Structure 1
Amino acid sequence: MDLHYALYHSKSLEPASATLHNDILQVSARNNARDHLTGFLHREADYFIQYIEGPKTRLYGALARIGRDTRHSNFEVIQNGPAEKRLLPDWTMGFVDPGLLNLSDLLDVSHGRLDIRTIDPFDLVIFLVSNAGALRSGAAAA
């Protein structure tokens, strides 16, 4: 398999709500299972941050579809490329809102001053994988 990954962020155009998040989670899980993609989405304040991995062609097709979604703006792929192995092999889509871990708290900044572009992409991936692990172990609610 030609395994690739991508890390992106965007700004939500809709207020946080269980209905919105459940819709995103259900559609993503269905599409990702079909396309053999795995990933984890985090929402914090107005930001969405996602790590997604899978076959190259399907991954980049999914990113194009995600980028066209009208529920967010400023879609930006922070980092992408080939991957040696999956970091989230058993997650068609994981999601925590606001998350067991909170970027603002970790960085000691207010939500209004959080700037995803200033965070090292590797640290964002570790953050998302840690949230997935915490959710898996039952320490957080989806």
Structure 2
Amino acid sequence: MSLHQLIYLSKASRQLDSVDFLKLLKVARENNVNLRVTGSLFYNGGWFLQVLEGDLPIIQDLYRKIENDDRHMQAKVLYLEPANNRTFSRWTMNMINLDEEHDSKYHVLRDLLDAAVKGNMIDGLSAPVKLLKVFSDDNLFGIR
């Protein structure tokens, strides 16, 4: 088995509140620890962008479950590549709800998610590649 990173984008099928997010995070962390999956979930303006890191068959299976989850619509894989290292090695699942984060440092993530939704490039990179670069280059968000 080899380490891979999968990044997908999906539209929330309904408005989620903080209780929904806490439940989602709790279940993801419990499941992912046993599967040796790490990653981060970003939410902004009704859109999810998630990074899953782990063995290829495992993260592909998780993505299939997400595609069938009624909280998600229009799910699509934006990035699926082998990786030498985990970008989110300390997190069985991290989550940042950008609708609730008002610190200016989060504007970078909002811009990334917006670019992913629109299919735009940022600094000549696709949004998923730029996202991994942001978290690899510095620890601005303290979640590595």
Q: TM-score, normalised by structure 2?
A: 0.78
Shift of 1:135: 4.2
Q: How do 1:46-125 residues align onto structure 2 when only pairs under 5 Å count?
A: 46-98=46-98, 99=101, 101-103=106-108, 106=111, 115-119=117-121, 120=126, 121-125=128-132
Q: Who is 1:140 aligned against? A: none
Shift of 1:132: 7.4
Q: Partner amino acid for 1:101?
A: Y
CA distance in 1 between partners of 2:134 and 2:49 (Å):
10
The 8 Å contact of residues 4 and 81 in structure 1, kept in 2 or not, is answered as: yes
Would you say how many aligned residue pairs link Structure 1 and Structure 2?
133
Share of identical aligned residues, percent? 23
CA distance in 1 between partners of 2:136 and 2:67 (Å):
22
Q: Partner amino acid for 1:126?
A: K
Q: Partner amino acid for 2:107?
A: N
1:52-106 deviations in Å (ceiling 9; x for gaps): 1011111111111111110110000001021111111110000111145135864
- Paired residue for 1:126, among 109, 118, 133? 133
CA distance in 2 between partners of 1:63 and 1:34 (Å):
16
Greater displacement, 93-102 / 64-73: 93-102
CA distance in 1 between partners of 2:13 and 2:19 (Å):
14
Shift of 1:51: 0.9
Q: Partner amino acid for 1:42?
A: F
Shift of 1:118: 2.0
1:13-56 deviations in Å (ceiling 9; x for gaps): 12131011111111111111111000000001111001110111
The 8 Å contact of residues 9 and 75 in structure 1, kept in 2 or not, is answered as: yes
CA distance in 2 between partners of 1:131 and 1:48 (Å):
23
Unpaired stretches in structure 1, ≥5 consecutive residues: 138-142
CA distance in 1 between partners of 2:117 and 2:18 (Å):
24
Shift of 1:123: 1.3
Unpaired stretches in structure 2, ≥5 consecutive residues: none
Q: Partner amino acid for 1:122?
A: V
Over the aligned positions, Cα root-mean-square deviation in angstroms equals 2.7
Q: TM-score, normalised by structure 1?
A: 0.79
